[in-house]
A and B are shown apart, each in its own frame.
Chain A
């Protein structure tokens, strides 16, 4: 039996188990039947193992170049290196949906094994929802809609090889799986929310049970988006990292609603408010992940005409509509039981800031959604072609982002219920001084665009609030527990991880914002045609062309420009190239990047003398601070790990009975 047969058989068995599990979990939740629950658990565990087996079979088929499988023939070639063969599992639609299904099966198994022990009825109902979703995806990949193991009647001698852009950089190993993990894990809070609505629970048990899942999926989405920006920067060769492309928009939308949710959830936990709203946010986040997959995987965004080519488009659209109808219906049906415990406090209270923040996140999300969909709808209805791109999104989203940055500094400094004047002075004196210093620092370093100056000021404002919080926390621990500074600091992170991890995340976001502002405001371009020995000067850097040469590798042919960058302390060899893969008609640009904490020197081989290689046109961008964007993303990830790590168990202090003070009469 070949790997392809094994994988196809495993998926069909998993489909059967998933159907069985759906029924068993529904019966177990309805009748509180322990035997049915037990069998659903086993179905979830074995089902997960089978889907993983199928994914591994596909990796094996790719690695061994089994071109009798259509997917392998289309996305692999004999010359493809092993590393890129294996990660071609997510190079195209069918393999991506297989990876998606494997992650979903893993989440289902986790809930079956761990969740149903903690809160049996709610988790068992959620398990039924998970099984139902898993069944849908298994149906996709066991029917011609997205069958990864579809066969070719006649196996070709060699395949097409992966898409040129996808075999050009190792970040491809990281960025798609992170995003898929983030996408798929949003289905866990969704399943619990739906279960809570089905059972008519008015409380917030679903939310407490899935808090960590929501945080993890949010963090994976965020880090996946930054990894995607990095990949785009390192591969696409235009010197930018974000273009408001529909694929990027599809990823940022659920991240925005998920961020709103992580904050408004605290209002529900502390004050039992916003119950319906939080459920709606969870539903919206999940629905946006499906919408994103639909937009990017059905071919609908690139051209309306390719819509009918893939059967998966209508199926995903139907799935999305079904989810929305079910969720909205349940929310309306149960809205009577979701009464809030009372009104919200004063405008200058933490809960009010969370609400304002939610409004801004909604505006940001709906703008991206409309800007992405409007050109499609307009073209479908009237045939009118129009563009909504970077300049539109920048004009709307940058002011929203600045307002959010401001609230990020204000919110954590305000107490619940409302703040007195004395509190305001105590909390905001240092941050306001820092904001002024930030604005001056921007001007002094030559960052003079208004949006950038505001970003520096607000960034300094937020950093000051975070430093102030840490300083107070450390001082309190030193006084109360007599710890030294380092121990107090690490105990803050370990014992109050949710709060202080959140502050670390805020710091990471500030670093990202500063990197974006700096790189957008101060990038310098130049382009010149050089003969070997000639050079080009930009922003204190000199780039000298040493040679233009052709390089031949088994899987590709390249033209490489040998450059030497000097100036501002740099001395580096860069090799921008134009790479020709047999599978693509056009050569792909591969930039030469000299990365640094201060500036990146980004070079592109734009054109060259095709007959004698005696000249090359070099485009050069000096991009300040862009490395901090990736570092900021890492800080966000670290903060999320701190916030999500379980706190250490409390020590039980046993005292001799004589030392316990007698209760006062």
Chain B
């Protein structure tokens, strides 16, 4: 098969697989409990989430989240309840709305600055244009390629 056709088919399959994986779907109750408890800090541990911690406190918090999900509360409502009780500290990922939300800018800023610097170097002011090889060099290369092809059979 033609190489380019093969690559085109492969890229289509790849895109299809990614779209399938990214398709929006309604989260089940268990998935929602996992989503919420992953974001909550276990108050008595060192940086572990409520989902991962084996402490008694974390277990009670997991049960509370499960109960709220069963009661039909939305994720936002459940999170608001924990924010009222503990403050922003209870979230392991700083909310975008607060000052600490600025930490989300760091990776973006570093990448933007880095790419800016690199692309400036890539074009390079006064970069010498690549010179074309001379006729003699081309002939020598041709000969070498022919020799190696003959050697490979």
Contacts and interface: CB of A to CB of B under 8 A. Distances in A.
Interface stretch (B7-15, B75-83, B137-145): B7-15
Nearest to A619: B54
A606 to B, nearest CB: 6
Contacts of A450: 18, 21-22
B97 interface: no
Interface in B79-108: 87-94, 98, 100, 103-104, 106-107
Nearest to B25: A448
A518 to B, nearest CB: 14
Interface in B119-149: 119, 121-128, 130
B94 A392 contact: yes
Contacts, number: 168
Given A388-B103, A436-B11, A362 B114 contact: yes
B10 to A, nearest CB: 4
A344 B124 contact: yes
A83 interface: no
Main secondary structure on B side of the interface with A = helix
A243 B106 contact: no
Contacts of B3: 425, 429
Contacts of B125: 343
A177 to B, nearest CB: 24
A192 interface: no
Contacts of A391: 38-39, 49, 91-93
Nearest to A239: B52
A432 B39 contact: no
Nearest to A274: B121
B54 to A, nearest CB: 6
B27 to A, nearest CB: 13
A234 B49 CA distance: 18
A558 B92 CA distance: 33
B152 A245 contact: no
A592 to B, nearest CB: 13
Q: Interface residues of A toward B: which range?
A: 35 or more
Contacts of A352: 118, 122
Nearest to A397: B107
Interface string B20-57: 11100000000000000011010000111100111010
Given A352-B118, A355-B118, A440 B13 contact: yes
Given A388-B93, A619-B54, A355 B14 contact: no
B41 A387 contact: yes
B151 A479 contact: yes
Given A343-B127, A378-B100, A386 B17 contact: no
B17 A390 contact: no
Interface in A374-413: 374, 378, 385-392, 395-396, 400
Interface of A: 237-240, 243-246, 302, 342-347, 352, 355-356, 358-360, 362-364, 366-367, 370-371, 374, 378, 385-392, 395-396, 400, 417, 425, 428-429, 432-433, 435-436, 439-440, 442-443, 448-450, 452-454, 457, 479, 527, 589, 604, 606-607, 619
